[in-house]
Amino acid sequence: MAPFSESTAEKVKRLRQELDEVRRELAEAEAELNSQLEDVQAFEFRFEAHVGQLLDQLATLESEVDSYLTRIKLMRHQQSFANSDAAFDPVEEQFRQTWQQSSETAVSKPPPPPPAATQAQLKKMYRQLARQFHPDLALDEADRQYRTDKMAAINDAYQAQSMVELMALAEELEAHQSQRQTEQPPDKEMAQALQEEIERCRRRLRSLDNELQNLPNRSMVDLALKVKLAQREGRDLLAEMAEELERKIARKTAERDMLRTQFNNL
C-alpha cells in the first residue's frame, strides 16, 4: 500500500491548527508574564511610597554624618591649642541629649494609597483585549501593524483607567476580525507563511518561558512574597519597615544636627 501523501490543502489545514495551538500558548504566556510584571510594578510603587523615599532620606543623612565626622577630625588635628576638646562633650553624650529631645517629635506616617475602585474589572478587560489584539495573532504584516497600533491604544486606555475606551476597542476588534476572515492567500504561499509563523511563535514562547522562570530571582519579587506571607500573619511588613526607618532617620537627624553644631563651634 502506497504511503500517505499530504496534499497542500491538508498541510495548510494542519499548520493552521498547529499555529492556533502555539498562538494560544503564546497568548497565555504573554498574559501570565504581563500579569506578574504588573504585580511587580504595583508592588514597586507601594514600596517606593512607603519605604523607598525613607531609604533615600536615611542614606543622605548617613552621608552628612560621615562628612561632619571627617571634617571635625581634620579641624581638631589642625587646632594648635591643647584644651580644644574640653569645650565639647563627648560625641556619644551630645548625641544622647539631642536624641532625647528629638524623640518626642515623631515623624508622620505617609497616608495610605487610595483604593482603586474598578481595578479588578479594568484588569480583566485589559487581559482579554491583550490576548485578542496581540500582534502575534496577525494574519499578515498589515494586520500585525493594525494590532500593534491597537495594543498601544489598549495600553493607553488601561493607564488612563478608562473602561469606556476599552469596551469601544473590544467592539472594534470584533468588526475587524469579521472583515479579515474572508481574506485567504494561495495555499502554497500560505503553507510557507504558516510554517515560518509557527517557528517565530515558538522562539518567542521559549523566550517568555525563560523570563517567567527567572522572574522569582528579582529581589523585589522576593520581598513582595515576604510581604504577602507577613500579611497572612496579620502583619504589615512595609509599614514595619517604614516605622523602623523613621526611627533611624530621627536618630540620624539628631546625630547630624549635633555634629553640625559641634563643627560650627570649632
pLDDT, tens digit only, all 266 positions of the chain = 444 456 778 888 888 899 899 989 988 988 888 888 888 888 888 888 889 889 999 999 999 999 888 888 888 777 644 444 444 455 555 555 555 554 444 445 554 543 444 677 788 888 888 877 777 777 667 777 888 888 888 888 888 888 888 888 888 877 766 666 555 556 777 888 888 889 999 999 999 899 888 888 888 888 888 988 998 999 999 999 999 999 999 999 999 999 999 888 87
Specify if 7 maps to a domain.
Answer: no
* Burial grade of 50 (CB within 10 A; 0-12, 13-18, 19 or more): buried
Kindly write down the DSSP assignment for every residue of 72-99, as one continuous string.
HHHHHHH---GGGGGGS--HHHHHHHHH
Specify if 1 maps to a domain.
Answer: no
Specify if 186 maps to a domain.
Answer: no
Specify if 125 maps to a domain.
Answer: yes
Specify if 10 maps to a domain.
Answer: no
- 77 contacts: CB under 8 Å, gap ≥ 6: none
Specify if 239 maps to a domain.
Answer: yes
Specify if 5 maps to a domain.
Answer: no
Q: Which of 169, 177, 131 is nearest to 150 (CA)?
A: 169
Specify if 185 maps to a domain.
Answer: no
Domain containing residue 46: 16-109+116-179+196-265
Task: Tell me how many domains the chain contains.
Answer: 1
